[in-house]
Structure 1
Amino acid sequence: MKQLLLTATLSVAALSTVCAQQTGKPEDTEVYTPVPPVVVPAATASAPPADAIILFNGKDLSQWVMTDDRNTPAKWKVAKGAFTVDKSTGNIETRRSFGSYQLHLEWRIPVNINGTGQGRGNSGVFLASTGKGDLGYELQILDSYQNSTYSNGMAGSIYKQHVPLANPTRRPGEWQTYDVVWLAPTFRPDGSLAAPARVTVLFNGVVVQNAAELAGPTQYIGQPSYQAHGPAPIKLQAHGDKSEPVSFRNIWVRPL
C-alpha cells in the first residue's frame, strides 16, 4: 500500500509539473523579430552563397597582398584555376580584415611530394594574421596521409594547441577542403581578454575542431597568450621546408 501511495504521489507531482509548464498560450513563446536576412544558397556544397566575399576567383590574386609589405600585391603564381605557394616571396594575406566569419578553402598537396613529418607539404591558414611573418592563429596544412608527425602539428590541428578529432586527409594530388567557423577574440577597453577565440573546422566534411577554445595566437616555442587586436586579415603561409609547394583554389568568406 505504501508503495502504491508513493507511486500515486510521484505521478501527481509529475502531472503538476507538466501542467505548470503548459500555462499560458503558444503565442507567448513565439518570436517574430529579428527576421533573418535571406541568403540565396549555393547550387553545390563548395560553391559560395550569394552573400559571400570571393577571395579567389580562379583568375587572379587581386584580393591578396604580401604580408611583410601590404602595399605590394601578392606574388604567388596563378594557373589553371588555382594558385601555388611561392616560398621565395613570403606569406600572403587578404586585403580586407575580418572579425568572426565562415570560411571555405580548398588546398592540394602535390602528387610528387617528398620529405617526411613536418617537411611534407607544410603550409597553414592563419585565421587572423596579427603581424608580419608567422604571427596569428594557425590552422595547419600538411600532408597527413600516412605521414607520421606530432599530433598537434598534423593537418586539421590548431597548430601546437589542439589535436584534430580525426584524420580525414586524402592522398597527395587530391583536393582537400576546410570549412571554418571562426569566432574572433574580443577585448575590453583596457586591452584585457573579454572572450577567447573559438573555432570549428570541417576537414573534407568531417568535424576535426568543435568550438575549440584558443589560448592565444600560435607560438612555435612556448605557450600562447593574448594581446589585444581588432579585425585582422586571413593569411596563407609560405613555409620554409624543402618539399613541393601547396596549391589553393575556391576561397570565399562570409563575415558573421
Structure 2
Amino acid sequence: MASEKKLVVVGLLVFAFFSQGEGIIGGREAAPHSRPYMASIQVAEGDRMKHECGGFVVADQWVMTAVHCLPTGANGRKVVLGVHSLSQDEDTKQTFDIMELHNHPQFDSSNYDNDISLIKLDRLFNASDAVKAVAFLRAGGANPDTDAAVDTAGWGSLDNLGSRPDKLKELVVEVEDPVLCRRSDYFGRKFTANMICAHKVCEDPCDKPHKKEDTCDGDSGGPLLYNGVAVGITSNGGKKCGQLKKPGIYTVISHYTQWIDGVMGLQSDP
C-alpha cells in the first residue's frame, strides 16, 4: 500500500513538472486574434485535422512558412486562418486548400538553410479583424541587432514530451550574437548568414529560473517579428527545445526578396 502511494506521489510530481509551461517553451497565451496573420497548417489524422506547422499571411492569397513543414508537397494539408483555439468552433476561422506550394529550390535539409516556402491559397481570404496580412522585411531593410527583443507565436509543443496547447501562445526572445551561434559548441558551420538565432534565458521573476524560453516542435513556419514586421521564419534549433546552447533558428526573410517577388508575381525594387 505504501509503495502504491509513493508511485502516485511520484506520478503527480512528474505531471506537475511537465505541466507548468505556458506554451511554446515559456511564453504566454496570446490575446485572441491579436495576431491576425497567424496560420495553422493542418494535416489529416483519422477523421479530423491536426495542427502540424505554423505560417503567416503576407498577401491576399499568400502564406509564408518553412520548407521543412511541407518538404514533399501539400499532400492534402489545409491552411486555417482566423484561429485562436484549435479545438473550438470559432466563426472567425477560414479553411483553405493549398493551390500552389513553392519551396525554395536551394533548401538544404542537412542544416535547414534557405528554409522558406510560399503557399498560394485556393481563393482570397475574407479580410477581418481576425484575418489580415503582416508586413515583412524586404532587401535593404534593417534586421534586428544582437540583444534586440523580437517576438514570435505558435501552437507548438509546451515541452520536449510533445504536449501541445489548444490556444495560440506568444513569446518574446532576444537575438543572439551570430558569432556565438557559429561556435562549434552551438551550431558550427550549419549556422549560415541566412539565419538569425534567438532565445531568452528566463531569470527571476520567471516561474522556472535560469531555463531557456524557446520555440518548439509545431511552431515551425511561424513568424519572427521586430517592431511588428516579420523578419524571420521559425526554422530549427536543437533536437530538444530550450537547450542553452541551441537557440531557436529563424530564416532571414529579407535575403529572399527577389525570389518572393518572382513567385508572387510582384515587381522587385530596383
Q: TM-score range by the shorter chain?
A: under 0.3
Radius of gyration: which is bigger?
1
**Relative CO higher for 1 or 2, CA cutoff 8 Å, sep ≥ 6?**
1
- TM-score normalised to the size of structure 1? 0.25
